[in-house]
Structure 1
């Protein structure tokens, strides 16, 4: 059974390594696509770096401050 990203992040934040792995797997095609733009000898290191950044972002993400749609639109339109 597949879980939505919200629940996977909740589980990953509470230490569930399988949930964290599932999140990384879901983003792996995008990570690899971005890394293909780097020099061939740097792609693997860049892939590891981006994966680490995703893991850190998940672990530090405050689930209590998720904006509703209107707040999201306002934050995007302010940029």
Structure 2
């Protein structure tokens, strides 16, 4: 199964407000989040990480899925 198809399935489940799936999606993007946080000061990283994850969850819920 391709990664994009797997992510699509996870996104579909996340839209049903499955917290386990939401955590799995966040874990998949954790390397990118950490890399982005390196661009800011150490003392602000945890607060910014929390903000990023919160925004990420908001985007997951608002993303429109087009079923084919």
Give the TM-score normalised by structure 1: 0.74
Give the TM-score normalised by structure 2: 0.86
Pairs aligned (count): 65
Structure 2: gaps spanning 5 or more residues: none
Is it true that 1:17 corresponds to 2:33 in the alignment? no
Higher CA-based Rg: 1
Q: Which has the bigger relative contact order, CA under 8 A and spacing at least 6?
A: 2
Structure 1: gaps spanning 5 or more residues: 67-79
CA RMSD of aligned residues (A): 2.1
Q: Deviations over 1:2-48 (max 9, x none)?
A: 87110101101101101100000000011011001111100011111
Runs (4 or more) in structure 1 with deviation over 6 Å come to none
Residue 64 of structure 1, CA deviation:
2.7
Q: Which residue does 2:6 correspond to in 1?
A: 4
Q: Which residue does 1:50 correspond to in 2?
A: 52
